[in-house]
Amino acid sequence: MRLLRGNVFSVSGAFEGSEDIGGARDLARGFLTDVQAVYGLPVSGRVMGTVQLVVSELVTNARKYAPGPCLLTLEVTGGGQVEVSVWDSNPTPPAILAPDPTRVGQHGLEIVMAVSQSFAVHREPVGKRITTAIRLADDPGGDVVGHQP
């Protein structure tokens, strides 16, 4: 993890194979654990799971629909949220399908959009970047990882 400026923390990783999806989740879990343990920012148990889910869905899509590696960046700012950003080499924006409980599969972006504060797709000079934001401490029960009442 690195301190960028002020109270902004960031970590990045490149992932090339579908077997790396677990590695992307591990990167997210380790990053959020450090954000809490080292920097004292609260991270709820629900957020820990939600960020790993979002990372898994976005990296899975990048690996499935774009050739070459994808790049994952996680960033925490003073605003109390974690930004998850995944770049891949395919410039085509993802198809965002309407919710359909009868459809088998293809619910990943639907889930990501439902659990995120924001969702954006940006074209890059090469490929695209999908960025979401999730609040760090949004658990109504106050379930902060590692917190003892």
Amino acid at 127: G
The Cα 86–Cα 88 span in angstroms is: 7
When pLDDT is cut at 50, 70 and 90, the band that residue 149 belongs to is very low
For residue 134, pLDDT beyond 80: yes
Strand partners, 149: none
The answer to whether the beta carbons of residues 81 and 117 sit under 8 Å apart is yes
Reported as a single tens digit per residue, the pLDDT across 12-55 is 999 987 778 999 999 999 999 998 888 888 888 999 999 999 99
Q: Does residue 107 carry a pLDDT above 80? A: no
Residue 93 to residue 122: CA distance in whole angstroms = 8
Q: Which CATH superfamily is domain 2-135 in?
A: Histidine kinase-like ATPase, C-terminal domain (3.30.565.10)
Closest to 53 (Cα-Cα) out of 29, 31, 18:
29
Q: Where are the domains of the chain?
A: 2-135
pTM of the predicted model, to two decimals?
0.85
